[in-house]
């Protein structure tokens, strides 16, 4: 069982839709992350939140909009996505945002863009 919970597990959406991915952790971790993973590739970092503030944006297109309502929650708002955005979206958390502590992953949202 993962201690990082992601919803939904699967999402199919059209290019004009707006949807949100949600992530929750109750381990008291102060850093949370969004990754994108394509088949047979490693996870690619998208965003890092440290102490509820956005600390890293890896030049992600504006059609992806992260939000951190509190230290336990992380959302990823999606709008006007492209077919190439279809991927597994992973949320992770760690004790710190310094890259010193290991990250714990949720089981991901598998996103398909029609």
- Which residues of this protein are in contact with another protein, per CB under 8 A? 2, 33, 41-43, 45, 48, 50, 55-56, 88, 90, 97-108
Least separation, in Å, of the C-beta of 13 and another protein?
20
Which distant-in-sequence residues (6+ apart) come within 8 Å of 91 by Cβ?
4, 6, 21, 23, 32, 33, 34, 35, 74, 76, 105, 106, 108
**C-alpha to C-alpha distance for 11 and 63, rounded to whole angstroms:** 16
- Residue closer to another protein by CB (options 59, 100) is 100
Least distance between another protein and beta carbon 41 (Å): 7
Q: CB 69 → another protein: shortest distance, Å?
A: 21
Number of C-beta neighbours around residue 12 at 10 A: 13
Smaller CB separation from another protein, 3 or 14: 3
């Amino acid at each position: 069982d993962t201690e990082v919970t992601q919803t939904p597990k699967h999402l199919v959406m059209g290019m004009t839709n707006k949807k949100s991915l949600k992530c929750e952790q109750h381990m008291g971790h102060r850093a949370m992350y969004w990754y994108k993973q394509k088949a047979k590739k490693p996870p690619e970092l998208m965003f890092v939140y440290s102490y509820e503030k956005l600390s890293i944006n890896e030049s992600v297109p504006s059609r992806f909009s992260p939000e951190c309502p509190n230290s336990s929650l992380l959302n990823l708002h999606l709008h006007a996505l492209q077919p190439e955005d279809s991927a597994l979206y992973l949320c992770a958390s760690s004790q710190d945002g310094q890259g010193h502590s290991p990250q714990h992953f949720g089981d991901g949202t598998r996103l398909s863009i029609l």
